[in-house]
Amino acid sequence: MSKGLTALFTRMLTVAIPTMERWSFLQDQVPKYLADPNIGYVVISDENGKDINVMCELEMDSNVKLRLYQNNAVLGVYGNKRQCFLKAPSPWVAVLDSDNQFEPEFFEAFLKCKERDGEAANKTIYCAGEIIHLDLATGATEDKTKQFSGMRISRENWNKVLTTKGWNFLLNDGNCIWPRDVIKHFPDLPEEQIVGTDSIFFMRQAIQAGYTLSVEPTMRYVHTVHDGSHWLQNATVSSRLMGMRIWTV
Helix axes 3-10, 104-117, angle to 10 degrees: 100
Q: Contact, 78 vs 186, CB < 8 A?
A: no
Q: Give the torsion through C-alpha atoms of 200, 206, 209, 213, to 10 deg.
A: -100
- pLDDT for 3: 52
- pLDDT for 235: 47
* Per CATH, domain 3-244 is 3.30.200.20: no
DSSP state of 63: S
Distance CA 71, CA 122 (A): 29
Distance CA 29, CA 155 (A): 34
User: Given the DSSP bridges, would you call strands 141-143 and 124-135 parallel, antiparallel or unpaired?
Assistant: antiparallel
Residue spans of the domains in the chain: they are 3-244
Per-residue pLDDT of the chain (249 residues; tens, 9 = 90+): 545 445 555 578 999 999 999 999 999 999 999 999 999 999 999 999 999 999 999 999 999 999 999 999 999 999 999 999 999 999 999 999 999 999 999 999 999 999 999 999 999 999 999 999 999 989 999 998 999 999 999 999 999 999 999 898 898 888 999 999 999 999 999 988 887 789 999 999 999 999 999 999 999 999 998 676 655 554 444 455 555 567 889
User: Given the DSSP bridges, would you call strands 177-179 and 212-225 parallel, antiparallel or unpaired?
Assistant: unpaired
Q: Contact, 82 vs 88, CB < 8 A?
A: no
The helix (run of H) or strand (run of E) holding residue 148 is none
Three-state DSSP at 246 gives coil
